[in-house]
Chains A and B, each alone.
Chain A
Amino acid sequence: MEKRELTCIGCPMGCSITVEMEGKDILSVAGNSCRIGDRYARTEVINPVRTLTTTAVVEGGDLPRVSVRTAANVPKGKLAECMKAINALRLKAPVAIGDIVLHDIAGTGVDVVATKNIRRVS
């Protein structure tokens, strides 16, 4: 039996969680204070995922960059590939919060959305 000690990233409490597993079978999850922790631990030991937040280049806007996020979690191992795809973007102002700026990033099925409004300037 393998024991994995995790710190939950589901919220700022940062619960210490212990997962007992046999190969890929999870035997028990303990130490979490809520359902988020349980879900985090079960995903983290099999397929860790993260929300990626970064910026993309905008042309013709009041600022040179717009902040963006993945609309859902993406596999941790694909973060570098996702960054590459977002860094290749050349968006055109205006951009509004919630606009999808990239579909299905790095084959994850997850969209990338803008998190800031960028006005167009002439």
Chain B
Amino acid sequence: MNSVDVVIIGGGPAGLAAAVSAKEAGSGKVLVIERNNELGGILVQCIHNGFGLHTFGEELTGPEYADRYIKKATEAGAEFLLNTMVLDISGDRVVTAMNEKDGLFQIKAGAVILAMGCRERPRGALNIPGSRPAGIYTAGTAQRLINIEGLMPGKEVVILGSGDIGLIMARRMTLEGAHVNAVVELMPYSTGLRRNIVQCLDDFNIPLLLSHTVIRTEGKEHLTGVVVAEVGPDRKPVPGTEIHYDCDCLLLSCGLIPENELSRQTGVAISPVTNGPVVDDTFETSIPGVFSCGNVLHVHDLVDYVSEEAGKAGRYAAVYARKHGAEERGSHRIEVCAEGGRGVRYTVPSSIYEDSMDEKVTVRFRVGSVFKWAYISVYADDERILHQKKKILTPGEMCQVQITKEQLQSISGLKKLTVKIEEE
């Protein structure tokens, strides 16, 4: 069986950034396993600009951003296996994979990094009544059809869900000559970035219907129309508010789900909130030597944060592999908790080892509802150690705070950090 220092599963932005930093941290052999026929993951179909402001200080398109990391990883000496599907990871890090050329094979990994990304919530998970006509796609499928394959999925369009991909596709389809009737959002707020509402909807006078949903699809062979209705505070349709649209295309942009079949099969503990692995400040999962980063860990809005996070995971995985697991994590484990409810829904990481942590740890989280001029507070046990005023906090935008080693060390016997949102 071949031995590899670090095996990275997934060659998207997370996997590539992890590969770069694992090599830079001195790992011998770093292998990225990718099921697609090219590297870059979802970035290759995200042809719009807006990527890389934090990482490179300029606005790149998705393919350009991916290309920079592919070059970096190649130059750093990482190796890649394309068209290869990982089937299993054992608890002692034997990776079983297969492809057309090598058949079924196994690799013994010093450390494994899970970087499989996420996928879109499909129609089947949305309970939209109606038959199963052609013309209903997830927004990402439509994005691939248009941007990679040069095919138009429809001419008269309704988009359900105002996540970023839905907004981006509203503009994309309009530019390509389709008529986007409306973007329909179940919640009273959009989960997309504000800039995307401006430049993708407002620029083209596309209406955004908040607190609305699609209650019916029409058409048997091909979609001929949809019925949209307003929803009440209980998110149930309000009778008498139905709007009918003639359309041949319905795009669904209704959330992303981390793709953790492999992680579950391996026995990695999964958070019920993020649907991603539970990790500590080194991005190590509940299984020693198995790390996780990117959208498989928790769904991000910005690729720059994915790259940053994955860079750390890569470095820690390299250290783990080099010391053959003998790397001692600190002994002082501090739990990081979210208050839950409307406020902070989860945190990544969910624990910090104070004695082995970096000088600074970034704790990322999402809130459960919209807050204006509220405070992000961090409590160390019962003592408030951080209190930051924010103009706006919304579920659509990931938030973060930084915790320093100094802060944590100054409190003796600290057991728990709690991140919460406070009105004052």
Q: Chain A residues in contact with chain B, CB under 8 A?
A: 6-12, 14, 16, 50-55, 57, 63-65, 67, 69, 76, 79, 83, 97, 115-117
- Please tell me if the beta carbons of B199 and A64 are within 8 angstroms of each other in the complex: no
CB neighbors of A among B79-109 (8 A) = none
Besides A63-B149, A117-B67, 6 other A-B contacts (C-beta < 8 A)? A7-B194, A7-B195, A12-B53, A14-B193, A65-B147, A65-B149
Inside 8 A of B175's CB, which chain A residues have their CB? 52, 54, 79, 83
Q: What are 29 of the A-B contact pairs (CB < 8 Å)?
A: A7-B195, A7-B198, A8-B195, A9-B195, A9-B199, A11-B195, A12-B50, A12-B195, A12-B301, A12-B302, A12-B397, A14-B193, A50-B199, A53-B47, A53-B48, A54-B172, A54-B175, A54-B176, A55-B150, A63-B149, A64-B150, A65-B147, A69-B49, A69-B61, A83-B176, A115-B60, A115-B61, A116-B47, A116-B63
Q: How far is the CA of A83 from the CA of B47 in the complex (A)?
A: 15
Most chain A beta carbons < 10 A, residue from B47, B149, B193, B197: B47
CB contact between A7 and one of B44, B53, B197 (< 8 Å): that residue = B197
CB contact between B150 and one of A12, A65, A116 (< 8 Å): that residue = A65
- Please tell me if the beta carbons of B50 and A55 are within 8 angstroms of each other in the complex: no
- Please tell me if the beta carbons of B150 and A51 are within 8 angstroms of each other in the complex: no
- Please tell me if the beta carbons of B146 and A55 are within 8 angstroms of each other in the complex: yes
Q: How far is the CA of A53 from the CA of B199 in the complex (A)?
A: 12
- Please tell me if the beta carbons of B193 and A55 are within 8 angstroms of each other in the complex: no
Q: Chain B residues in contact with chain A, CB under 8 A?
A: 44, 47-50, 53, 59-61, 63-64, 67, 146-150, 172, 175-176, 193-195, 197-199, 203, 301-302, 391, 397
- Please tell me if the beta carbons of B198 and A9 are within 8 angstroms of each other in the complex: yes
Inside 8 A of B150's CB, which chain A residues have their CB? 55, 57, 64-65
Inside 8 A of A63's CB, which chain B residues have their CB? 148-149
- Please tell me if the beta carbons of A55 and B47 are within 8 angstroms of each other in the complex: yes
Q: How far is the CA of A57 from the CA of B146 in the complex (A)?
A: 11
CB contact between B47 and one of A50, A76, A115 (< 8 Å): that residue = A115
Q: How far is the CA of A57 from the CA of B172 in the complex (A)?
A: 16
- Please tell me if the beta carbons of A14 and B195 are within 8 angstroms of each other in the complex: yes
- Please tell me if the beta carbons of A97 and B49 are within 8 angstroms of each other in the complex: no
Most chain B beta carbons < 10 A, residue from A54, A57, A83: A54
- Please tell me if the beta carbons of A55 and B147 are within 8 angstroms of each other in the complex: yes
Q: A51-B59, A53-B47, A67-B61 are in contact. Are A12 and B148 (CB under 8 A)?
A: no
Inside 8 A of A97's CB, which chain B residues have their CB? 63-64, 67
Q: How far is the CA of A32 from the CA of B63 in the complex (A)?
A: 30
- Please tell me if the beta carbons of A76 and B203 are within 8 angstroms of each other in the complex: yes
Most chain B beta carbons < 10 A, residue from A50, A55, A115, A117: A115
Inside 8 A of B203's CB, which chain A residues have their CB? 50, 76
- Please tell me if the beta carbons of A67 and B195 are within 8 angstroms of each other in the complex: no
Inside 8 A of B61's CB, which chain A residues have their CB? 53, 67, 69, 115
Output the least CB separation between A87 and chain B (Å).
8
- Please tell me if the beta carbons of A54 and B199 are within 8 angstroms of each other in the complex: no
- Please tell me if the beta carbons of A12 and B147 are within 8 angstroms of each other in the complex: no
Q: How far is the CA of A94 from the CA of B124 in the complex (A)?
A: 40
Q: How far is the CA of A78 from the CA of B355 in the complex (A)?
A: 58
Q: Kindly list the 3 A-B residue pairs having the minimum CB-CB distance in the complex, ordered from nearest.
A: A14-B194, A67-B47, A116-B63
Most chain B beta carbons < 10 A, residue from A12, A55, A76, A117: A12
Inside 8 A of A64's CB, which chain B residues have their CB? 149-150
Inside 8 A of A12's CB, which chain B residues have their CB? 50, 53, 193, 195, 301-302, 397
- Please tell me if the beta carbons of A54 and B47 are within 8 angstroms of each other in the complex: yes
Q: How far is the CA of A28 from the CA of B79 in the complex (A)?
A: 54
Inside 8 A of B176's CB, which chain A residues have their CB? 54, 83
